[in-house]
Chains A and B, each alone.
Chain A
């Protein structure tokens, strides 16, 4: 069965610290997609990144970086030099491919989320 585990419920850091949010997933499919979303206090989920199962290259976008390791079924997210504006709940999500054409099943399976608080 598909499952996403974000073991860290809450993390609190001081501004400028680096922080890593962990995400472990379970799937029996060989084709799948992984996502990270940010949910600030306003409530709207903001898309951050998508990764497919065939692309294990790590990605960096400004202060954000993602480490995808199929061997450990992990897709971790690091924020470098955190800022107060990074305070939010971060969700990792998984989507499996439809068997007929490889497109997504449609539904995202979300982890429970990690609440990040960055204090000045």
Chain B
């Protein structure tokens, strides 16, 4: 069974630009979660999508947004990039909205210069 995949592996952007990160969940998983792992800040929850709907959102500004497609893959968009957005962005997936463990992808390393 293929795991959660994320693309790209690395992304370098300049301040003010937009970044788009992609995630494909494990086959059969309908929920996708996004987390930010910034140096010194630990792992912080960003967004949760299930069946195409945003179910929960962490304490991040609106310039962090995303969506989930009919095939359950997901996209995270970060607009008006700031230097502090530099981080590892991890995507996870799980089966449905009832509690199931989340399985994580390898992450996308976003660097903002």
Give the B-binding residues of A (Cβ under 8 A).
Answer: 33, 35, 37, 42-47, 50, 52, 91, 93, 95, 97, 101-113
Chain A proximity of B70: nearest CB distance (Å): 20
Residues of chain A within 8 A of B56, CB atoms compared: 105-107
Knowing A33-B99, A43-B88, A97-B99 are in contact, say whether A107-B104 is a contact too (CB < 8 A).
no
Q: Please report the C-alpha to C-alpha distance between residue A67 and residue B58 in the assembled complex, in whole angstroms.
A: 29
Point out which of A97, A101, A107 has the most chain B C-beta atoms below 10 A from its C-beta: A107
Assess whether B97 is in contact with A47, with CB atoms less than 8 Å apart: no
Assess whether A44 is in contact with B33, with CB atoms less than 8 Å apart: no
Knowing A33-B99, A35-B101, A103-B99 are in contact, say whether A109-B45 is a contact too (CB < 8 A).
yes
Residues of chain B within 8 A of A104, CB atoms compared: 97-99
Residues of chain B within 8 A of A113, CB atoms compared: 42-43
Whether, in the assembled complex, B90 has its beta carbon less than 8 Å from a beta carbon of chain A, the answer is yes
Whether, in the assembled complex, B64 has its beta carbon less than 8 Å from a beta carbon of chain A, the answer is no
Q: How many residues of B contact A (CB 8 A)?
A: 26
- Can you list 7 A-B pairs, Cβ within 8 angstroms, ordered by A? A33-B99, A35-B101, A37-B104, A47-B102, A50-B101, A109-B45, A112-B42
Chain B proximity of A21: nearest CB distance (Å): 16
Chain B proximity of A8: nearest CB distance (Å): 14
Assess whether A106 is in contact with B31, with CB atoms less than 8 Å apart: yes
Assess whether B103 is in contact with A47, with CB atoms less than 8 Å apart: yes
Chain A proximity of B68: nearest CB distance (Å): 13
Residues of chain B within 8 A of A37, CB atoms compared: 104
Whether, in the assembled complex, B52 has its beta carbon less than 8 Å from a beta carbon of chain A, the answer is no
Cross-interface CB contact of B98 among A35, A50, A103, cutoff 8 Å? A103
Chain B proximity of A79: nearest CB distance (Å): 20
Residues of chain A within 8 A of B63, CB atoms compared: none
Residues of chain B within 8 A of A52, CB atoms compared: 99
Chain B proximity of A105: nearest CB distance (Å): 6
Knowing A101-B98, A103-B98, A105-B56 are in contact, say whether A110-B42 is a contact too (CB < 8 A).
yes
Point out which of B31, B92, B101 has the most chain A C-beta atoms below 10 A from its C-beta: B101
Chain A proximity of B113: nearest CB distance (Å): 21
Whether, in the assembled complex, B107 has its beta carbon less than 8 Å from a beta carbon of chain A, the answer is yes
